[in-house]
Structure 1
Amino acid sequence: MEEQPITPARFDFEAGEVLLLDKPLTWTSFDVVRKVKNTLRIKKIGHAGTLDPLATGLLILCTGKKTKQIDLIQAQEKEYTGTFRLGQTTPSFDLETPVDQELAYEHLTEEELRAALASFIGLINQTPPLFSAVKVNGERAYEVARRGDEAEIKSKQVTIKEFELTRVALPEVDFRVVCSKGTYIRSLARDYGAALGVGAHLTKLVRTRIGEYRLEDALTMEAVQALRPPRPEGEQDRPPRQRRERLPERRTGLEYYQSQQDAAASTPDTPPVS
């Protein structure tokens, strides 16, 4: 059967829709919600689970009466793929902040890398990153972190159902994780690096699944733009809004990583661990 084209007529946003979006790199989840709301002229809309700005992949938006399903969708298990960079740590556990420590990693074997995964399977205690949206004395932790202040964040229990390495090419390892709601993959990067004694941080993260909802079924932001309804007769175009500046910390981390990638590209490839 031939696949039907995606058209505005296929959606009833007021009655309620569950929209699957592929979040672009550096966009916040709120950026996506605001763009979709304004583009498609949706009155009531919300997302079912935040993705960090430096993550990409599946972001679920609910509209109209379907916003009542947000909590139910958020509670479902998540699947992620991505990359850890071993031998380096950052304060944010990802590329939002530059590297603050470097440790030797060359001695690690693939057997050691895979053996370290076992301690993270099942119900574990995990401490969220200071650069996160958890509340500390009524304030978001990332606001405390960006002032340069310290804060104590309590650990919590999360469940890691599956955790595997899909590529080993030191200092990088690719992974796939299936986990419960509330799991921070950045914290998993930190803890995995600590278990190996070499440190680690997250350099790439893609959310591929939430429950039965999958990334391959998601719309791109370009596809959303194509669904934009015609402007009502007589309505004037709004003047273009000035694009808000991204946080300097994010640019710093990304620029550092890109410089490292450029340097690596000019040298022979690192062979996989054997």
Structure 2
Amino acid sequence: MQEANSHLLSAKNLDEGVVLLLDKPLTWTSFDVVRKVKNTLRVKKIGHAGTLDPLATGLLILCTGKKTKEIDQIQAQEKEYTGTIRLGETTPSFDLETAVDQTRPYKHLTEEQIQEATLPFVGRIEQTPPLFSAVKIDGKRAYELARQGQEAEIKSKTVEIKAFELTRIALPDIDFRVVCSKGTYIRSLARDLGEALGCGGHLTKLVRTRIGQYQLADAFSIAAIEALRPPRPEGAGPARPERRPEARAGLDFYAANHAAPAAPAAEDTPAD
């Protein structure tokens, strides 16, 4: 992690411009991370170079100051992801944001069949983004229409899959590593692989591990950023209450099925 380089995040350096690597927490939006860093480190100018879905974790690149001019250049670089696809079940969002809407048999599949099914997806392919995505349709985000139960047609686009490696097969789950071009939807890849196998599939885990030369292993955690919060200027008055990311619209199903366990009752708590 980049904690060893925390001395580089001085107010002067941030204002002049740095490329800041963050490990995005689960359920946070990319904007949540930008806002957190902006408010914590009091950065005047900041933006991110490539969105991650709320249910994805991993490398999110933030640029500050003059480095914001490099955002488009960084976004254009190839991406690397690891994750898990569950076969035999489909969801409308192609991930865990929505409930399973269909189940199909999968136990008859062999490892050889699954490995062979990945081959047509390597190279330049046509891919249709999920309806639950930020793609714009007539000026509206596709996910807004999807969450309202509206049907919409999303045009396919050409993307490049440079590597699609299955690292573990333990049906119904398969783990993978993908190297791809900008604009690739791994959720769509999960859906398409499931369709190619005739059993359906959806994404249950996604981690972005690399963008170009930038690695997740070098990223700051949110906790590390919080530890770098500068002291409030003398006479600035009391600090505003910390604003934590609220539950994301559209993640109600996920939240309900992944609720944190209840805290123990008072009588069960050991005395000091």
**TM-fit CA distance, 1:103:** 0.5
Q: Match of 1:70, SS?
A: helix
Q: Which residue of 1 aligns with 2:30?
A: 29
Mapping of 1:226-241 within 5 angstroms? 226-240=227-241
CA contact (8 A) 2:11 2:43 kept: no
**TM-fit CA distance, 1:227:** 1.2
CA contact (8 A) 1:165 1:174 kept: yes
CA contact (8 A) 1:116 1:192 kept: yes
Task: Provide the TM-score with structure 2 as the length reference.
Answer: 0.90
Q: Which residue of 2 aligns with 1:183?
A: 184
Q: Which residue of 1 aligns with 2:132?
A: 131
Query: Does 2:179 match 1:203?
Result: no
Mapping of 1:105-124 within 5 angstroms? 105-124=106-125
For each residue in 1:135-182, what CA deviation from the matched residue of structure 2 results, as whole angstroms up to 9, or x when unmatched? 001110001101110100000000000001000000000000000000
The separation in 2 between residues aligned to 1:88 and 1:11, in whole angstroms, is 51
Runs of 4+ displaced beyond 6 Å: none
Q: Which residue of 1 aligns with 2:262?
A: none
Q: Which amino acid aligns with 2:24?
A: K
Q: Match of 1:6, SS?
A: helix
**TM-fit CA distance, 1:251:** 3.7
**TM-fit CA distance, 1:252:** 1.2
Task: Provide the TM-score with structure 1 as the length reference.
Answer: 0.89
CA contact (8 A) 1:95 1:254 kept: no
Mapping of 1:1-274 within 5 angstroms? 6-7=6-7, 8-9=9-10, 12-240=13-241, 243=244, 245-247=246-248, 249-253=250-254, 255-256=256-257
Q: Which runs of 5+ in 2 are unaligned?
A: 260-272
Go from structure 1 to structure 2 and tell me whether the alpha carbon gap of 1:4 and 1:113 turns closer, same or farther (over 3 Å shift).
closer
Go from structure 1 to structure 2 and tell me whether the alpha carbon gap of 1:119 and 1:94 turns closer, same or farther (over 3 Å shift).
same
Q: Aligned residues, how many?
A: 256
Kindly report the root-mean-square deviation, in angstroms, between the aligned alpha carbons of the 2 structures.
Answer: 1.8
Q: Match of 1:94, SS?
A: coil
Q: Match of 2:61, SS?
A: strand
**TM-fit CA distance, 1:254:** 5.4
Q: Which amino acid aligns with 1:115?
A: E
**TM-fit CA distance, 1:15:** 0.7
The separation in 2 between residues aligned to 1:199 and 1:94, in whole angstroms, is 12
Q: Which runs of 5+ in 1 are unaligned?
A: 259-274
% identity of equivalent residues: 69
The separation in 1 between residues aligned to 2:90 and 2:216, in whole angstroms, is 29
Go from structure 1 to structure 2 and tell me whether the alpha carbon gap of 1:163 and 1:244 turns closer, same or farther (over 3 Å shift).
closer
